[in-house]
Amino acid sequence: MNRKRIIFLAVLLILLFAAVIVVFWMQNRGKTNYSATKIEAGYQVDFSWWTGADRHTLLLEKGDVLAVEWSLERGQIGVAIGKPDQKPIYAANDVSAKDTPETFFTVTVPEAGEYIIGVFGKNATANISIKQTGGR
């Protein structure tokens, strides 16, 4: 075999191998799983490779405490808690797995009423939990 033919076959094999890797990666990347548990005292969301938004409404009293916790494996998420048509009492946008992979904190409700919890994801794999833990 001449040298040009060997080089040609080696390049062809490398390109074929790269194409197989890209196809495999794209197939696994596209598998989205999403699960949300919405209860009277909280909101639990688990997802992988999810891009979208979801929300849950809680009826809260002044002084109630919400425990917010997340574990972010990849992608970006956002979480917002607030009353409709008012500035949120908590908001985090474009949180990345690289910067804030895990967190836990509490938010105290300043006034009684209906509060909307919004969760956003962009190619994200995460677990987010928001639970009413007490207060008043």
Give me the CATH number covering residue 45.
2.60.120.380
Q: CA 113, CA 101: separation in Å to the nearest integer?
A: 31
Same domain (yes/no): 128, 72: yes
Q: What is the mean pLDDT of residues 94-118?
A: 93
Confidence grade of residue 11 (pLDDT, cut at 50, 70, 90):
confident
Q: Give the DSSP H/E element, type plus range, for residue 5.
A: helix 3-29
| 65 or 136, higher pLDDT | 65
Same domain (yes/no): 49, 102: yes
Same domain (yes/no): 44, 82: yes
- With tokens 């904190």, the residue in question is 105
Same domain (yes/no): 26, 46: no
Summarised one tens digit per residue, pLDDT across range 72-101 is 999 999 999 999 999 999 999 989 988 888
Is pLDDT of 45 > 70?
A: yes
Highest mean pLDDT pick, 5-9, 20-24, 46-50: 46-50
Q: What is the mean pLDDT of residues 19-26?
A: 68
Same domain (yes/no): 23, 84: no
Please tell me the total count of domains within the chain. Answer: 2
Q: pTM score, two decimals?
A: 0.75
| 1 or 64, higher pLDDT | 64
Same domain (yes/no): 4, 52: no
Residue 24 is predicted with a pLDDT of 63
Residue 33 is predicted with a pLDDT of 87
Q: CA 55, CA 32: separation in Å to the nearest integer?
A: 18
Q: CA 59, CA 31: separation in Å to the nearest integer?
A: 34
